Amino acid sequence: MRRTLIKNIGCLQTPTGSYSHKGSKQGANEKYMDACVAIEDSKISEITEDGKVPDGDFDEVIDAGGNLVTPGLVDGHTHLVFGGYRQHEIAMKLAGAGYLDILRAGGGILDTVRKTRDASEEELYEKSRAFLDEMLSFGVTSCEAKSGYGLDPENEIKMLNVIGQLDQKHVMDVAATFMGAHAIPPEYEGKGDEYIEMMCNELMPQVREQGLAEFCDIFCEDSVFNAAQSRRYLEKARELGFSLKIHADEIEAIGGSQLAGELGAVSAEHLIAIEEDGMDAMAEGGTTAMLLPATSFYLDKTYAPARTMIEKGIPVAIASDFNPGSCPSLNLQFAINLGSLKYRMTPEEVLTAVTINPACAIGRGDLAGTVEPGKQADLVIWDAPDFEMVCYRFGSNLAKHVIKKGVLVK
Ligand code: NIG
Ligand code: FE
């Protein structure tokens, strides 16, 4: 057995437990001052505080230099795998086009679909592997990744294979989500119902059989998939044994958040335009709000009503939404800054929103998201004395060292 000690931790701040935190629990963090963490192989074995050091010999000693240590961050919503980029959309936006205008004109997601279909599995793998390296350098140690730029059986499976390979070969834990219903591909233009039937009858069962994804997601939005189509797709997914996710109320509230709550979706994403009844349904259904503030920033929209959600007892998670269109940034620390500034969440609430809550929403709550004996040793040593500093400084990377499954990877 290999024993590692992290010593000289000024403050170890972490939520606790293997479940998602809501209401007043959203901001419940433990703080151990002058602490040490002992690691045995890939797992945390002991935490000490007040200057006490765990007994025994260690193969490796990491000095935290009196800094803050937290759990490794969990990015619960990314579109990590994609061909090309979409920087040319800047000119379209400057000319006045909105996000959905670009999509309706055959660009946006559909532009990335063309580029992703053209890319080989190897090309996509190499590109997204480099993104995972960059995410890790920002302190992210687990993430979710969606398909949804293939939009036909061959290319959706190609994307899911890439995600599976990344999970196997990269130190990052990567949870796979099938998002065949991300847009209507050109071959099905004007035939959204038929496309959904093809997904439900052909592709979704195949994805399930081959064990390529744990979650199913759909873009429920004006001009994309309506609430009835979303219901059909998600009910089929549930029947096949997938856990459910839904892009809901991003631009228009067309019933996505109500559906999420009613079907017991594990999370609903975006929720910028959510209304009262949608929040009530989510609270009732135990659905986590996966909020994506960097997308609000990049689309120049308003921000989801995180404080009302917390008051209503909805567990709140904050993710990057990294994708080539609405959020070309994988910097989860920037989302942390916006969570604090725009959602008006406390540093403790924000920490829960980027650790245990998303860990639970991607099915990793028993492994990751907190620093506790028995959990995976996924930790960040920050160039900061407290998490307030991480919420406050923006534009710099404050993750000084990153430890993944007991190994110093940065
Ligand atoms: O979550 N809104 C839908 N899907 C992504 C954007 C995808 C894209 O523009 O390529 C999102 O923002
Ligand atoms: Fe998304």
- Give per-residue pLDDT as tens, 356-381: 999 999 999 999 999 999 999 999 99
- pTM higher than 0.95: yes
Nearest ligand 1 atom to the CA of 321 is: 1
pLDDT value, residue 153: 98
Residue 37's φ and ψ, nearest 5 degrees, are -125, 125
Residue 391's φ and ψ, nearest 5 degrees, are -70, -25
Chain centroid, CA 239 distance in Å: 24
Residue 324 near ligand 1, beta carbon < 6 Å: yes
Nearest ligand 1 atom to the CA of 325 is: 9
- How far apart, in whole angstroms, are the C-alpha atoms of residue 359 and residue 318? 11
Residue 247 near ligand 1, beta carbon < 6 Å: yes
| 3-class DSSP assignment, residue 225 | strand
pLDDT value, residue 265: 98
DSSP states of 340-395: HHTS---HHHHHHHTTHHHHHHTT-TTTSSS--TTSB--EEEESSSSHHHHHH--S
Angstrom CA distances, 346 to 110, 282, 331, stand at: 38, 22, 20
Separation of CA 279 and ligand 2 centre (Å): 19
- How far apart, in whole angstroms, are the C-alpha atoms of residue 214 and residue 251? 26
pLDDT value, residue 224: 95
Q: Whose CA is nearest to atom 12 of ligand 1?
A: 326
Structure tokens belonging to residue 385: 């004395």
Q: Which residue has the tokens 């995972």?
A: 132
Residue 296 near ligand 1, beta carbon < 6 Å: no
User: How many Cβ atoms are within 10 Å of 395's Cβ, its own excluded?
Assistant: 8
- Burial (CB < 10 A; 0-12, 13-18, 19+), residue 3, is middle
Please state the length of the chain. Answer: 410
- Residue among 321, 322, 330 whose CB has most ligand 1 atoms within 8 A, to mutate: 321
344: left (phi over 0), alpha (psi -120 to 50) or beta: left
Separation of CA 183 and ligand 1 centre (Å): 9
Residue 48's φ and ψ, nearest 5 degrees, are -125, 160
Q: Whose CA is nearest to atom 8 of ligand 1?
A: 325
Structure tokens belonging to residue 350: 């924000």
Q: Are strands 399-404 and 407-408 parallel, antiparallel or unpaired?
A: antiparallel
The list of the chain residues with pLDDT below 50 reads none
Nearest ligand 1 atom to the CA of 149 is: 10
Residue 147 near ligand 1, beta carbon < 6 Å: no
Residue 295 near ligand 1, beta carbon < 6 Å: yes
User: How many Cβ atoms are within 10 Å of 169's Cβ, its own excluded?
Assistant: 12
CA angle 188–194–195, rounded 5-degree value: 55
Residue 152 near ligand 1, beta carbon < 6 Å: no
Nearest ligand 1 atom to the CA of 112 is: 10
- Residue among 109, 115, 270 whose CB has most ligand 1 atoms within 8 A, to mutate: 109
